[in-house]
Structure 1
Amino acid sequence: MSVFAEQLKKYRTEQALSQDDLAAQLFISRQAISKWENGDATPDLPNLIKLADIFGISLDMLVLGHTTNTTATETPSTKPMYPHMNGWDFLARYWWIFFGIAWLIYMFTKR
C-alpha cells in the first residue's frame, strides 16, 4: 500500500468521515475513494488539493506522510545562478553589454 493510501485512510477515519461522506464533498463516487485507499488508483491534482483542504493538512503531509521543516527564520539555500560560468558563457549571456560600452567609448572619443 502506498504512503498516500495510508495517509488518506488515516485522516479520513480521524475526522470520522465515511467514504461516502468524503466522496460527496469531492463530488466523486465512493468507489473512487475506495480505489485511492487500496492503492489501485491515485487522485488528480485538484482532488489532492481538495483533500488537503478538507483534512486541514499540507500536500506534503497527505502525499508523502511528513511535514515540511521550513520555518520563518530559515532562509533557503543560496546557490549561484550560474555556478560554472566561463568566459564564453558570459559572452553568450551578456553580449549586448558590449554595444553599450562601445557607444560610451564612441561618445567620449568623438570630441
Structure 2
Amino acid sequence: MNQFPTQLKKLRKSTNTTQDDLATKLFVSRQAISKWEAGDSTPDLTNLIKLTDIFNVGLDTLVFGAKPEEKVDSTEFVFDPKHNRYVRKLGKMNIWDFLAGYWWAILLIVFVIGFFSAF
C-alpha cells in the first residue's frame, strides 16, 4: 500500500479539502489523516470505502493509483495486487494465449508427427 499515502494527499488537494474537513467527514482525528498521508498508518476498510465515496473514485484508484478512466472488462480480467496490474482470468484463453503458454507442447507434437511420418 505504498501508493495510498500519495493518492490520498493528491485526491484531497485536488478537491481543496483540508485534513480537518476530511477528518470531520470520517469521524477521525486530523492526526489520523496526517498519519495516513505520511504512510505511518493505514485506514480500516470502512474508512477506505468512505474515502472512495468522498472522492468519487474506485478502490483501485485510491489504493493502487490506477487511472480512473481505464475501463477493464471484469468478466475477462482480474486485478493482481502482487504485480499491481490486471491479468487475464484463467479459463478465458484465446489461441494466442495458448500458443504463448504451451509452445513446447506444439513443438513436441510436431516432432512426434515428423518422427512417425518418417516410417
> TM (normalized to structure 1)?
0.64
How much identity, in percent, do the aligned residues show?
55
Deviation at 1:70, TM superposition (A): 1.3
**2:82 is equivalent to residue 70 of structure 1:** no
Q: CA RMSD in A?
A: 2.1
Q: Tell me the equivalent position of 1:5.
A: 5
When you count strand as a share of all residues, which structure comes out higher? 2
Matches within 5 A, 1:36-75: 36-67=36-67, 69-71=71-73, 75=75
Count of residues paired in the alignment: 78
CA distance in 1, matches of 2:28, 2:75: 40
Moved over 6 A (4+): none
User: Max radius of gyration: which structure?
Assistant: 1
CA distance in 2, matches of 1:47, 1:64: 16
Unmatched segments (≥5 aa) in structure 1: 81-111
CA distance in 1, matches of 2:90, 2:39: 38
> TM (normalized to structure 2)?
0.60
Unmatched segments (≥5 aa) in structure 2: 77-88, 93-119
CA distance in 1, matches of 2:75, 2:9: 34
Deviation at 1:79, TM superposition (A): 1.9
CA distance in 1, matches of 2:7, 2:15: 12
Deviation at 1:37, TM superposition (A): 0.2
CA distance in 1, matches of 2:55, 2:41: 20
Determine which structure has greater relative contact order: mean sequence separation of CA pairs < 8 Å that are 6+ residues apart, divided by chain length: 1
Matched residue type, 2:56: G
